[in-house]
């Protein structure tokens, strides 16, 4: 009986320690805010480069999407004309 009681207390203590350790971790948002607050120009430049690296392909994809939509509309108009 004593052995199982100690095992339960050990398990509860272990879970408590893991929980407290997890609560002390910074979230990515907090890390970003801390980096921005520090005013580190290199960090800001690297962040902007990462945003630009994602933004440029997305802009190109949007352009291609609009071209495909226009093409589909023209194709639908031609099909509609041929069926009338």
Percent of the chain with pLDDT over 70: 71
Distance of CA 8 to the CA centre of its chain: 39
Separation of alpha carbons 7 and 10, rounded Å: 5
How would you class 29 by CB atoms within 10 Å of its CB: exposed for 0-12, middle for 13-18, buried for 19 or more?
exposed
The pLDDT of residue 61: 87
CA distance 40 to 23: 27
What residues contact residue 35 under an 8 Å CB cut-off, 6+ apart? 43, 44, 47
Query: For the segment 14-27, what is each residue's pLDDT rounded down to a tens digit?
Result: 788 877 776 666 56
Higher pLDDT, 34 or 63: 63
Whether the model clears a pTM of 0.85, i.e. scores above it, the answer is: no
User: Higher model confidence: residue 58 or residue 42?
Assistant: 58
């Amino acid at each position: 009986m004593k052995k199982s009681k100690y095992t339960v207390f050990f398990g509860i203590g272990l879970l408590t320690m893991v929980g407290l350790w997890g609560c002390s971790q910074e979230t990515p948002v907090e890390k970003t805010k801390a980096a921005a607050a520090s005013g580190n120009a290199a960090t800001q430049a690297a962040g902007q480069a990462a945003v630009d690296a994602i933004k440029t392909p997305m802009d190109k994809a949007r352009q291609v999407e609009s071209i495909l939509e226009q093409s589909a509309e023209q194709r639908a108009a031609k099909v509609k004309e041929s069926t009338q």
